[in-house]
Amino acid sequence: MSQDTVVDLLAELVAFDTTSHRSNLPLIAFVEAYLARHGVASRRVPDDTGEKANLYATIGPVDRPGVMLSGHTDTVPVTGQAWSVDPFRLTVEGERLYGRGTADMKGFLAAMLGAVPALVEADLAVPVHLAFSHDEEVGCLGVRSLLADLAHQPVRPAACLVGEPTSMRPATAHKGKLAVRLHVRGKACHSGMAPEGVNAIHVAARLATWVEETAVAKATRGPFDVRFAIPHTTLQVGTIQGGAALNIVPQDCRLDIEIRNVAEDDPEALLGELMAVAASLEAEMRETHPEAGIQLERLSDYPGLSMADDHALVDFILALLDERELERIGYGTEGGLFQHELGIPTLVCGPGSMAQGHQPDESVTRDQLARCEAFLSRLSEALSGPEARRRLAAGGLLVAAPA
């Protein structure tokens, strides 16, 4: 695989503005055509609107499980960011390649596509599956239709590698996330008669105080998972909006709340505690105004990823990377969904750093792309040849093909 080829592919991918609120279909069509040119069939898994789609392809034998390489096609917005280059045109300056998505995570997608010709020519004993998802950046929403599709297939992947940027160090764990919005509905009145109204901001503030106090309790008492730099569950209020004017008791206030949990904490239980507080406050509000209340809107949620450090997949990937250091990442991925929903052992490993992701002048280095290319080449070799399937099954990595 030529790095120039991967850089050219990255330039093509960056040129598609796949910010999450836009359609990703032009990029999907490009990938479909590229795969077809190399004799690889693929299938779309569209969303309900028909404006977005996941894409899935298999290279090698289709009657047995293999290793899936997975990445999302959407990116975060550039709105309000001070870019010094065009974010949707790849800019190469020495070692660095700049553009939206270069790190998160079109660099990995380019390397995946760059590996396709060699994978097609390889004598694969087990397949390599390629998955391209949408709407990861807004709560890992898009991949869920792909999960449902795979759940009904006669053969599903036996292992998965999600190529989020980890500087090519495999990550075995990340926290789960639950995000909700509470809409507090009070009663407006002139501020000179404030006791006759129900102040929605005051009620929201009490909810925010509960969030802060619970966050402090988690930091103090745990439970703790020392694999993470921040080893406990975190809670925060990310946005709060309410009120119309200083001389009006505010009728409405909305606050967005996020929980990022370690495996020992149940985010649904924490949400239940929050809603119990909300119910108590709602009862107080209705003593003044019967139509006051607090409504819950779920924004997004995904499970954490938790792989044992001595799992066969971990050993297999580390050997291909010539790497002994494992990561535990602070951001979420689709990996937890593959593991929890389909039971697929999953690691996160890809080129670039999330320190560059979501930032103006996002970039990835040539060295990181080269390391990813070398890894994918070794993966192809490890999955090829008459003895590969027996060797992988004996090592506990891949289950036998279904009858």
What is the predicted pLDDT for the residue at 392? 79
pLDDT in tens, 3-35: 569 999 999 999 999 999 999 999 999 999 999
DSSP per-residue string spanning 88-151: TS-EEETTEEESTTIIIIIHHHHHHHHHHHHHHHS-BSS-EEEEEES--TTTS-THHHHHHHHH
Name 190's bridge partners: 248
Q: Is 164 a catalytic residue?
A: no
What is the predicted pLDDT for the residue at 119? 97
Omega before residue 250 within 30° of 0, cis? no
Does the structure show a pLDDT above 50 at 87? yes
Average pLDDT for 310-334: 89
Task: Give the CATH H-level superfamily of domain 3-174+304-394.
Answer: Zn peptidases (3.40.630.10)
Active-site residue, selected from the candidate residues 136, 164, 327, 361: 136
Question: Phi-psi bin for 181: left (phi > 0), alpha (psi -120 to 50), beta?
Answer: beta
What is the predicted pLDDT for the residue at 389? 76
Long-range contacts of 217-220 (CB under 8 A, 24+ apart): 218/265
Of 143-152, 217-226, 390-399, minimum mean pLDDT range: 390-399
CATH class, range 176-302: alpha beta
pLDDT tier for residue 400 given thresholds of 50, 70 and 90: very low
Task: Decide if 3-174+304-394 and 176-302 have a common fold.
Answer: no
The percentage of the chain sitting over the pLDDT mark of 70, rounded to a whole number, equals 98
Put simply, whether the predicted model's pTM sits higher than 0.85 gets the answer yes
Active-site residue, selected from the candidate residues 74, 104, 135, 164: 74
pLDDT tier for residue 402 given thresholds of 50, 70 and 90: very low
The full set of domain ranges for the chain reads: 3-174+304-394, 176-302
Q: Is the pLDDT higher at 7 or at 399?
A: 7
For the record, the structure tokens of 302 come out as 């995904």
Q: Is 74 a catalytic residue?
A: yes
pLDDT tier for residue 398 given thresholds of 50, 70 and 90: low
How would you label 330-361 residue by residue, b for 16+ Cβ within 10 Å and e otherwise? ebbbbbbbbbbbbebbbbbbbbbbbebbbeeb
pLDDT tier for residue 323 given thresholds of 50, 70 and 90: confident
Under 8 Å CB-to-CB from 155, ≥6 apart: which residues?
62, 63, 64, 65, 401, 402
* Rounded Cα gap, residues 78 and 288, in angstroms: 45
